[in-house]
Amino acid sequence: MQRPVLIALLAVAAMQPRLQAAGPNEVERWDRFEAALLAPVSGNPFTGPGLKADFTFEHRTVTVDGFYDGNGTWRVRFMPDAIGTWTYVTHSDIAALNGKTGQFTCFKPSTANHGPVAVARVTHFAYADGTPYYPIGTTSYAWIHQGDQLEQQTLATLKAAPFNKMRMCIFPKNYDYNKNEPQYYPFPRDAAGNNDFTRFNPDFFAHLEKRILDLQGLGIEADLILFHPYDRWGYSKMPPEADDRYLRYVTARLSSYRNVWWSMANEYDLMKTKTMADWDRYFRIVQETDPSSHLRSIHNSGPMYDHSKAWVTHVSVQSSDLEKAVDWLATYRKPVVYDEMKYEGNIPKRWGNISAQEMTRRFWLATVSGAYAGHGETFLDPNDVLWWGKGGVLKGESPARISFLRKILEEGPGGLNVTPDRYYLNAGIEGQYYLYYFDINSPAEYEFNLPAGGKYHADIIDPWNMTVTSVSATLEGKTRLALPGKPNLAVRLRRIN
């Protein structure tokens, strides 16, 4: 159960600040502590003197950036990662914000709170409490810019869907099937549509935060895309100082949300006004200003970014070449996520009309290659409500099959690595567990060469019909297993002694 975490409120009376209690001073581990402070405003509060706070637990101190939230209110947010008593002190050149102190108690997290996701076992993921995390993602770029009715419909769809990660843009998107104006804009605009990039619109970010929390309540990670090229409002061509200020503001506001991931861009290479040095700088800013070290990636259209750079936590790729996963895993020694491998749908775009069978096949190929996959859907709609752009409802047949695969993964031993075989890709834990996928050319029988000394139970899995058929015989050593002899079948082998 989430508890209120607004701890300190600095009120202004006759221009003299005073500290007031404004809520219980406790927060569960990996939830969000917030201190709100009031002070007189002069000049532009978004570019003037700022606010920081030092949060201390025992011997450790974490420095966090604050931000201005409108109406004379500054906020500092922090995600505590240790149970016990934390203290804090604020720092600012604004006298009314400087030197404010307080403390709060961090208590045991609730059952549904596993903490933020991080890289685990080199090429896999886990929550902070050690629970394995299998990214089963989807994409809906502009779903938060569609108005409450459609956004609520999207959330209702997600509640019944298998996805635990959502790729989504912070900025609104302008592209085919997505031409509507958003309800909120990130920066103030004049009547002619000119942006004031020196100021932010707190209502825009409050709405974004609400949707992040909605996803958190559904157990879904918010993979936030910071920049993208599909723009008519000027956000893709801001000057460098505006880019940097935006990144610092976003990290100050959102780093305390445990289900946040950072994606520097969708199709970064299509943003021709940005250089590689710009993307490196963006990564460094996010890395340096996020005290919770959330996951960081970047997404390509054509040429890939150099994922070996230290600030990249995992490989986020647009590609249909599943065979490259093994090489990328070996090269980068980081998790590989095929976040975009075309879309199930029927639009007249080469990337938006693969079948549900093909989407299911690609999920399985990614899995047995030691990588992870992402879903997308683009079915024509009379109102242009395509899941990939606006959310709404899912119309395809692949989500049910993806849910079946997620169940298979969660029944397994954890992140699966590619294991040796002569002909067919399989992933598992050597000597314990193997998951084979027989793609297009499925044999009528197959000889498994299992480690000596182990006995294994076999299941034949039909990924499309979503069935698991147990094999009565126990397998050990070099042994043959009869198969149905049709394509797109899987075999699961689990050690039983």
Q: Which DSSP string corresponds to 323-339?
A: GGHHHHHHHH-S-EEEE
Residue 35 and residue 75 in contact, taking contact as beta carbons nearer than 8 Å: yes
Dist. CA 234–CA 195, nearest whole Å? 8
Other C-beta atoms lying within 10 Å of the C-beta of residue 268: 25
Report the DSSP beta bridge partners of residue 138. 166, 375
> Is 6-107's fold the same as 117-410's?
no
Binned average pLDDT, 10 residues per bin, the chain of 497 residues: 36 32 75 96 94 98 98 98 98 97 96 98 98 98 98 98 98 97 97 97 98 98 99 98 98 98 98 98 98 98 97 98 96 98 97 98 97 98 98 98 98 92 90 94 91 96 98 94 93 96
Note the pLDDT of residue 11. Answer: 30
What is the reported pTM? Answer: 0.94
The verdict on domain 419-495 having CATH code 2.60.40.3950 is: yes
The architecture that CATH gives domain 6-107 is Sandwich (2.60)
Is the Cβ–Cβ distance between 460 and 466 less than 8 Å? no
| CA–CA separation, 166 and 138 (whole Å) | 5
Nearest to 221 by CA among 147, 160, 136: 136
Classify 80 as helix, strand or coil: coil
Cα 211 to Cα 168: distance, rounded to the nearest angstrom: 11
Give 396-448 pLDDT, tens digit per residue.
999 999 999 999 999 999 899 999 887 888 999 999 999 999 998 789 999 99
Tens of pLDDT, residue by residue over 229-251, are 999 999 999 999 999 999 999 99
Q: Which residue, 36, 49, 126, is CA-closest to 78?
A: 36
Are the CB atoms for 390 and 353 separated by under 8 Å?
Answer: no
The letter for the amino acid at 158 is: L
Nearest-Å Rg of the Cα atoms of the chain is: 25
Q: Which amino acid type is present at position 439?
A: D
The position carrying tokens 């590989």 is 336
CA angle 421, 313, 293 (to 5 degrees): 140
112/128 Cα distance (integer angstroms): 12
In this structure, the dihedral spanned by the alpha carbons of residues 221, 222, 223 and 228, taken in order and rounded to 10 degrees, is: 170
Segments making up each domain of the chain, as ranges: 6-107, 117-410, 419-495
- Strand order from edge to edge, sheet including 372-375: 296-297, 260-265, 221-227, 165-169, 137-139, 372-375, 336-340, 315-318
Predicted confidence at residue 19, as pLDDT, reads: 34
> Nearest Cα to 415, choosing from 491, 334, 357?
334
**Domain 117-410 annotated CATH 3.20.20.80:** yes
CA distance 286 to 207: 21
Q: Which of 408, 392, 350, 400 is nearest to 375 (CA)?
A: 400
Nearest-angstrom CA–CA distance, 95 and 201 = 25
Q: For residue 265, how far is the Cα from the chain centroid?
A: 13
